[in-house]
Amino acid sequence: AQKITQTQPGMFVQEKEAVTLDCTYDTSDQSYGLFWYKQPSSGEMIFLIYQGSYDEQNATEGRYSLNFQKARKSANLVISASQLGDSAMYFCAMREARSGRRALTFGSGTRLQVQP
Amino acid sequence: NAGVTQTPKFRILKIGQSMTLQCTQDMNHNYMYWYRQDPGMGLKLIYYSVGAGITDKGEVPNGYNVSRSTTEDFPLRLELAAPSQTSVYFCASSYPGEEQFFGPGTRLTVL
């Protein structure tokens, strides 16, 4: 069974508008971490934001915020005031604490295109 | 700090050839990882290491080998390359419990 599900293969948003990228996850761990990475067309993986399962507040980093709904097992990324440079693939990922390897399990990604 | 560096950036192999993908980090991270990314997909874990001399398999280890003799270096060896190994390979490193830093990737084509 998929551990990270991103149901939106592609999204369009107008410049300066906000956009929400969906992510749901599956784990029986109580302790886990959720990450969002951006992959522009150049190919590198850029860390955006992190949410721990015990964090009571939703994480924010500049224009990025993570809408964490633990009971629904969702960790949606919200990008406010979209810019043309936000056009990229976005990956949601999870790290489970009981896994000693601390590796990330990735979703299949959402391609975001920001239109002028 | 250079962060995580990978060489080469691109490589074309013939079926049955072997090669080593190099990965070096200068952040003194204990944890290092190798992932592969197939077209249109997320990343999948090949191998990981929690410190020098300690390595273990991830989700998709078949056809690969790793070693970790130093904290800084974590090379990935492909033996007997197959077309199914055509992919982009990412090396990453981290401290335990913190975000992973990724290298720029190696684009490998096996023909």
Q: Would you place residue B110 in the very low, low, confident or very high pLDDT band (cuts 50, 70, 90)?
A: very high
Substitution target from B37, B46, B74 for chain A, most A beta carbons within 10 A: B37
Give A44→chain B minimum CA distance, Å: 5
Please report the pLDDT score of residue A1 as a whole number: 54
Helix locations, chain B, DSSP H:
none
Where does residue B97 fall: left (phi above 0), alpha (psi -120 to 50 degrees), or beta otherwise?
left
Q: Could you tell me if A39 and A89 are in contact, meaning their C-beta atoms sit under 8 angstroms apart?
A: yes
Query: What are the pLDDT digits (tens) for B4-28?
Result: 999 999 999 999 999 999 999 999 9
- CA nearest B94: which of A63, A33, A57? A33
d(C-alpha B62, C-alpha B35), whole Å? 13
- CA nearest A53: which of A77, A70, A76? A70
Q: Would you place residue B57 in the very low, low, confident or very high pLDDT band (cuts 50, 70, 90)?
A: very high
d(C-alpha B27, C-alpha A37), whole Å? 20
- CA nearest A37: which of A115, A104, A114, A113? A104
Mean pLDDT, residues A20-29: 94
B39 at A interface, C-beta within 8 A? no
Q: Could you tell me if A78 and A66 are in contact, meaning their C-beta atoms sit under 8 angstroms apart?
A: yes
d(C-alpha B90, C-alpha B98), whole Å? 18
pLDDT at B92 over 80: yes
Query: What are the pLDDT digits (tens) for A50-76?
Result: 999 999 899 999 999 999 999 999 999
Instruction: Name the interface residues of A facing B (CB cutoff 8 Å).
Output: 4, 33, 35, 37, 43-45, 47, 50, 91, 93, 100-109
Please report the pLDDT score of residue A114 as a whole number: 98
d(C-alpha B79, C-alpha B99), whole Å? 30
Query: What are the pLDDT digits (tens) for A78-101?
Result: 999 999 999 999 999 999 876 666
Torsion angle in degrees (nearest 10) through CA of B8, B17, B33, A91: 80
Beta-carbon contacts below 8 Å between A and B: 57
Contacts of B44 in chain A (CB under 8 A): 106
Q: Would you place residue B52 in the very low, low, confident or very high pLDDT band (cuts 50, 70, 90)?
A: very high
Q: Could you tell me if A45 and A107 are in contact, meaning their C-beta atoms sit under 8 angstroms apart?
A: no
Give B34→chain A minimum CA distance, Å: 10
Average pLDDT, chain A: 93
3-state SS class at A86 = helix
Q: Which amino acid is at A30?
A: Q
